Amino acid sequence: MAKGSYRSLRVWQFGMDLARDVYMLTRSFPRNETYGLSSQVRRAAVSVPANIAEGHARSSTKDFLRHIAIALGSLAEVETLLILAQSISCADRESFNGLLDRCAQEGRMLTALQSKLRIRCRQHPPASDL
């Protein structure tokens, strides 16, 4: 879809860092959460940069926009699962608060990219099928 590599996108880089940090945090979760909450939040966190990368590789801005929407949904899932994990005391409050702040920052970056892509879609609509 776009020129260059998705790896150069700051939003993707930040998403990768967030996913890595979610993995690090969940290592301290109780063992009985290994296949439950820990696994779920890890999958959701990985989905954020994965969807950014997949959308970037697609052939149209509209496809990229759809994948950004999916990444935003996955990010909301990460936040929800972290709030739940915090409420059942899976790790210290400071670790959760730092990750939740970073989720908010990633959300702002994704929303800004989404707005930019929407403008691009309006300026360059696909050719009609006549």
At 4-13, the pLDDT tens digits run 899 999 999 9
Does residue 102 belong to any structural domain of this protein?
yes
Say whether pLDDT at 3 is over 80: no
Say whether pLDDT at 130 is over 60: no
Does residue 128 belong to any structural domain of this protein?
no
Does residue 38 belong to any structural domain of this protein?
yes
Q: Which of 60, 67, 61 is nearest to 118 (CA)?
A: 61
Task: Tell me which residue range forms the domain holding 15.
Answer: 6-122
Number of Cβ within a 10 Å radius of residue 100: 15
Which CATH number belongs to the domain containing residue 82 in this structure? 1.20.1440.60
Does residue 129 belong to any structural domain of this protein?
no
Report yes or no: 57 and 3 within 8 Å, Cβ to Cβ: no
Question: What is the per-residue pLDDT for 129?
Answer: 43
Question: What is the per-residue pLDDT for 128?
Answer: 52
Say whether pLDDT at 105 is over 70: yes
Total structural domains in the chain?
A: 1
Buried/exposed 16-34: b ≥16 CB within 10 Å, e otherwise: bebbeebeebbeebeeebe
Question: What is the per-residue pLDDT for 1?
Answer: 54
Question: pTM for the full model?
Answer: 0.91
Does residue 130 belong to any structural domain of this protein?
no
